[in-house]
Amino acid sequence: MERLDRPTLIVWGDRDLILPATHLAAARARLPRARTHLFRGCGHMPQIERAEEFHHMLVDFWSADRVNPGSD
């Protein structure tokens, strides 16, 4: 299996009808070093449906990568 050696953030909505949240397990298996988050009460577009929470999560993710490049 090919490994992606890049900081990766995976977000999902537990009410996603297009790609059900059960797919998150497969994403975690393929990218075990990725940071993941399941938004509760959210559909297919957490970046829109939960914009403020997503924004804070993304800023934190970017900041962590800059402080600790290449670390988990």
Query: Annotated active-site positions, please?
Result: 44
Exposed, middle or buried by CB within 10 Å (0-12, 13-18, 19+), for 22? Answer: exposed
Length of the chain measured in residues = 72
Phi, psi of 58 (to 5 degrees): -65, -45
